[in-house]
Structure 1
Amino acid sequence: MNRKQGFTLIELLVVIAIIAILAGMILPALSKAKAKTQGISCMNNTKQITLAWIMYGNDQEDWMMPNFESGDPNDRPLSWVTGWLDWDGGTDNTNWLYLVDPKYAQMGNYMSKAAKAFKCPADNNAMPKGSKGVIGKQRVRTVSMNSYMNQNAGPGEAYWDTNKDNKGLRIYRKMSDLKKLKPTSAWVIVDEHPDSVNDGCLFPEAGIVNEGGIKVVKGDTSRSTWRDTPSSLHNGACGFSYADGHSEVRKWKTKPMIVDCRTVKFIYMPDTIQIGGDRTDWDWFGAHSAEVY
């Protein structure tokens, strides 16, 4: 009786090689499919938030939803969201109420059952070792609002459109204020870099060599930095929504935003990402944030 022979060593090596080749072909395709799915989900999220923002304007006689950077919510009109995010592990980082409870956030009147919309699906960063919070716990929010969309200052604070850093840049109070900068071009919601996000505002301004907020684009930006930094969570791209209600995931064009911005160091990082000599992304961002008058 003949015994069945198994695979020879050479045959096994050939099979392993074929599997490796197939894996090399399939895994990148799966990665691209996952990234595309995350991008679509991100756009749906930011669009949902912006449509709620538009509904507020319709309900409030054209006034935009209040938007401020920090401080006690009791000192001023209740903001679109509240809470302060960081990597130290404070309870604000994991508290959905600051996003969807009308007691704490204006968005709560429109999105009480849509808390997950505030978190970009591509943001899987969690509390690092050494934080006071639960290690491995993810934060509840990735998105921030354009600071020029009805930013409010509290008692004793100056409005950013009148101080030396932002002189001549318009803060929009009503939907109808968006004329020169059209609703189709004015971004409202953005995915902020995990090391940059804290309050609900993102300030489109430069640091270090500050020549006047967004107007720094007229000067030398080679040594300037982004004060608050948009994300690059989508493989060198960032999620945006606009005042007309549409959303997109926009590819960055410059190395600081494509490469440097993809690193997460789990530390607060204002004035860290350089604008660089190529101002393509900075120019675009400024032109879609506010108008100079």
Structure 2
Amino acid sequence: MNHGKKYGFTLVELLVVIAVIAILAALLLPALSKSKSRTQTIACLNNLRQLSICWHLYAGDYNDLLVPNDNIAGGTPGPSWCQGTGILETNTAVIESGLLFGYNRSTALYHCPADVSTVVSLSGIQLSQPRNRSYNLSQSVNGDPTAWLATHIPNFSKMSQINEPNPSKCLVFIDENEDTMLDTHFGMPTVNYGNTNQWWDMPSNRHVQGAILSFADSHAEHWRWVVPKIAQSNPMPVTTADRPDYDRVRAIIRQKL
């Protein structure tokens, strides 16, 4: 009785198959990673466009007045577009109590999908809980919560005042570095302050060594940096290599009182 021959893979054939699979994986994984990064960038761009629309709607409802940006580290918080300290907040109540939340009741808008940072306890211990906010509002748009800031850091209080820089070049929201999220206010020195060689707050580095920014005309952009944005101290000195990035951001901040 002939049962026929049984065929199977030889060891060499199995090794060849495994090698081919490994090569295909090596070719596909970078493409998948790049695709994920691109998707996160698109989502972050959309978040800031949506927040900018909320920002515009507020001004439309309040006779051209810009939403207060009145929550700065070391100051006494007042009514503001958002409340809280990004690195500490363990729930979304500080977002929901913000003045912009009523225009779009999605807390997800406040978090960049590429932001994997976690909250820190009051004692400085890193916790496992993801943060709920990645964005801050520029000091240039109604950001004078203290008398000192009002005389040193120029800002616009009305939408119609935005002219230098013009609306398409005036920073509104920014995807901020996770290590400088100490309030809801993105600030940096201006010509009135004197020292223009330090970052107070720093942009993020999450999007292919870049960050997402939105502007007063409601458009958003992906900016790539010359050097990575790593906050090692606060304030952070500006290096020679970092100067082009610093000057680029400074150009979209109001300078003149």
Q: Place the TM-score, normalised by the shorter chain, in its bin.
A: 0.7 to 0.9
1:6 aligns to what? 8
Is 1:227 matched up with 2:227?
no
Q: CA deviation at 1:72?
A: 3.9
Classify the secondary structure of the residue corresponding to 2:118.
coil
Contact 1:64 1:149 in 2 (8 A): yes
Matches within 5 A, 1:232-251: 232-251=205-224
2:19 aligns to what? 17
Which residue of 44, 47, 61 corresponds with 1:45?
Answer: 47
Is 1:114 matched up with 2:110?
no
Contact 1:47 1:245 in 2 (8 A): yes
Counterparts of 1:285 and 1:187 in 2: how far apart (Å)? 8
Classify the secondary structure of the residue corresponding to 2:129.
coil
Matches within 5 A, 1:69-148: 69-70=72-73, 71-73=75-77, 76=78, 78-86=79-87, 90=88, 93-100=89-96, 104-111=97-104, 113-127=105-119, 135-148=127-140
Q: CA deviation at 1:269?
A: 4.0
Contact 1:256 1:275 in 2 (8 A): no
What residue identity is the alignment partner of 1:284?
Answer: R
What residue identity is the alignment partner of 1:159?
Answer: W
Contact 1:238 1:249 in 2 (8 A): yes
Counterparts of 1:7 and 1:151 in 2: how far apart (Å)? 71
Structure 1, unpaired ranges of 5+: 217-223
TM-score (norm 1): 0.78
2:162 aligns to what? 178
Contact 1:50 1:245 in 2 (8 A): yes
Cα deviation 1:142-165 (Å, max 9, x = unaligned): 100001210132xxx4332424xx
> Which stretch has the larger CA shift, 237-246 or 64-73?
64-73
Matches within 5 A, 1:233-272: 233-252=206-225, 254-257=226-229, 261=230, 269-272=233-236
Is 1:280 matched up with 2:244?
yes
Structure 2, unpaired ranges of 5+: none
Cα deviation 1:66-125 (Å, max 9, x = unaligned): 00214443xx4x100011233xxx4xx12212112xxx31112212x2110000000022
Q: CA deviation at 1:55?
A: 0.7
What residue identity is the alignment partner of 1:237?
Answer: G
Classify the secondary structure of the residue corresponding to 2:151.
coil
Contact 2:238 2:246 in 1 (8 A): no
> Which stretch has the larger CA shift, 134-143 or 50-59?
134-143
Taking a change above 3 Å as real, the CA distance of residues 82 and 14 of structure 1, as seen in their structure-2 partners, is: same
Contact 1:120 1:191 in 2 (8 A): yes
Contact 2:69 2:81 in 1 (8 A): yes
What residue identity is the alignment partner of 2:163?
Answer: K
